[in-house]
A and B are shown apart, each in its own frame.
Chain A
Amino acid sequence: MRSSPPWTGCLARRSSSSGRKHRGHALIRTALQLVLLGALFALCRWAVERSGVPVPAGLVALVLLTALLLTRAVPERAVGGGADALLRILPALFVPSGIAVLRELPMLRGHLLSLVVVLVASVMLGLLVAGVVGQAAANRERQ
C-alpha cells in the first residue's frame, strides 16, 4: 500500500480550514440576504397597511423585487443565495396553514363532493385548453 506524502495531511488540513471559512462566509451572506428579503417584505407590508389597498404584501414584494432585478438596481447575487435558501424550506411553511383546515371543517360539510367535482373538472379542462392553445401558438411560432 502506498503511503501519502507527509505534506498532504497539512494541505488537507489547510484546505479544510479554508473550506470552513468559506462556508462560514457563505452562511453569513445567506443570513444577510434573508434579512434583506424580510426587510423588503416588511416595507411592502407597511406600505400596503398605510395605503389601505387590498393587495397581499408578499405579492407587492414579488413584483417590486422582479422590477429591481430586471432594471439591475439589485444584482442577482445580492439576494440569490437567501432566496434559494428560503425557497428550499418553503414547503414546510405551508404546514400550519394546511392544519388550519380543521377550523374550517363546518364550511366543507355537505359541499365536499361538489368541491372535488369542481376541482377535478376545472383542472382537467384548464390543462386541455392551455395545452391546445399553447400547441397552436407554438406551431405558429415555428412557421
Chain B
Amino acid sequence: MTALEVLAATAFTAALYWACILLQRRFRLALLHPVLVAVLVGGTLFALLPPRWLDAYLEGSAPITWLLGPATAALALPFFRRRAFLAAHPWTALLTVVAGCASTVAVVWGLGALLGLSPALRWAATLKSVTLPVALGLAEVVRTQPGVTTLCVFASGLLGSAVGPALLSWARVHSPMARGLALGTLSHVLGTARALEEDPLSGAAGVVALTLSALLLAAAAICLSLLID
C-alpha cells in the first residue's frame, strides 16, 4: 500500500459518495441510497478497468476500512442516549429482538439449505440484519465475504424500510414501540430512520433494537463459529 494509492482511493471514495448524495438530494428516492449507488457505479467502473486497478483501490482503501472499527465503537453513543427506552421497556425490547432474530435466522438456514445455498452465502444472509460496521467485523470471524455481506445488509435495510411499515400495518401492528423494534431488528439503521419518520418513540425503539440485535446475532455467530471450528 503506497501513499499515492491511499490518497487516490480516499479521494475517489469521497468524490463518488458526494456525487451520489447530490443525486439522491436531486431525485429524493429511497432506492437511490448514496452507498448503494456508489457501490453500483464504482463496481461497474472497476469491472470495466483492468483487475489491477481494483486491487490498487482496495489496497489503498485500507485506512477507510480501518475507520469502521472506531465507527463501530461510536455506535455506543446513540444507544447510550436512548437507554431510558430500554430501562422503561426491557422485556418488550428483548422479547421482540430475540423473536425477530431467531425467526429470520431460522428462515435463512432452513430455506437456504432447501435451495442449496453454500454455508458462506447463508452466513452472509444471516448477517443481513446486523448493522454494517458490526456485520463486516463478523464476516471475518465466520469467514464469509465482505462484499456479499454488504449487499445482503443493504437488501435487508432497503426492503425493510420500503415494505416494512405497510407489512406491519397489514399484520395490525400499530404500537409505535413494536413497529420501531421490528424495523430496527431487521433493517438496522435504514429501518430505524424509517421508524423515526413515523414517531419519535419508534425511532428510539429502533436504535435500541438495532444495537441489541447486533449484539445478539454477534454472540450467536461467534458461538456457532467456535462450535463449527
Q: With the chains together, A54 CA to B137 CA distance in Å?
A: 10
Inside 8 A of A108's CB, which chain B residues have their CB?
121, 148
B115 and A114 within 8 A (CB)? yes
Q: With the chains together, A95 CA to B65 CA distance in Å?
A: 9
- Give the size category of A's interface with B: 35 or more
Q: Output the nearest chain A residue to B180 by Cβ-Cβ distance.
A: A134
A87 and B111 within 8 A (CB)? no
A120 and B159 within 8 A (CB)? yes
B70 and A56 within 8 A (CB)? no
Q: Does B220 contact A (CB under 8 A)?
A: no
Assuming the A-B contacts A61-B72, A61-B73, are A122 and B182 also in contact, with contact meaning beta carbons closer than 8 angstroms in the complex? no
Q: With the chains together, A133 CA to B133 CA distance in Å?
A: 27
Per the CB 8 Å criterion, the residue count for chain B at the interface is 108
B88 vs chain A, min Cβ distance (A): 9
Inside 8 A of B185's CB, which chain A residues have their CB?
126, 130
> Mostly helix, strand, loop or mixed at chain A's interface?
helix
Q: With the chains together, A124 CA to B78 CA distance in Å?
A: 26
Inside 8 A of A12's CB, which chain B residues have their CB?
none
Residue from B81, B89, B147 having most chain A Cβ neighbours under 10 A: B147
**Per-position binary interface string of chain B over residues 46-85, scored 1 when its CB falls under 8 Å from any chain A CB and 0 otherwise:** 1100000010011001001101111111111111110100
Q: Does A1 contact B (CB under 8 A)?
A: no
Inside 8 A of B91's CB, which chain A residues have their CB?
137
Inside 8 A of A94's CB, which chain B residues have their CB?
35, 39, 68, 132, 136, 150
> Mostly helix, strand, loop or mixed at chain B's interface?
helix
Q: Does A73 contact B (CB under 8 A)?
A: no
Q: Output the nearest chain B residue to A101 by Cβ-Cβ distance.
A: B147
Q: Does B43 contact A (CB under 8 A)?
A: yes
Q: Does B178 contact A (CB under 8 A)?
A: yes
Assuming the A-B contacts A99-B46, A132-B173, A138-B177, are A79 and B77 also in contact, with contact meaning beta carbons closer than 8 angstroms in the complex? yes
Q: Output the nearest chain A residue to B205 by Cβ-Cβ distance.
A: A134
Q: Does A10 contact B (CB under 8 A)?
A: no
B148 and A104 within 8 A (CB)? yes
A118 and B125 within 8 A (CB)? yes
Q: Does A69 contact B (CB under 8 A)?
A: yes
Residue from A59, A64, A79, A120 having most chain B Cβ neighbours under 10 A: A59
Assuming the A-B contacts A115-B117, A123-B160, are A90 and B71 also in contact, with contact meaning beta carbons closer than 8 angstroms in the complex? yes
- Residues of chain A touching chain B, judged by Cβ–Cβ distance below 8 Å, are 34, 37-38, 40-41, 44-45, 54-59, 61-66, 69-70, 76, 79-80, 82-84, 86-87, 90-104, 107-108, 111, 114-135, 137-139, 141
- Residues of chain B touching chain A, judged by Cβ–Cβ distance below 8 Å, are 9, 13-14, 16-17, 34-36, 38-39, 42-43, 46-47, 54, 57-58, 61, 64-65, 67-81, 83, 89, 91-92, 95-97, 99-101, 103-105, 107-108, 111-112, 115-118, 120-122, 125, 128-129, 132-134, 136-138, 140-141, 145-152, 154-156, 159-160, 163-164, 167-168, 171-175, 177-179, 181-183, 185-187, 214-215, 218, 222, 225-226, 229
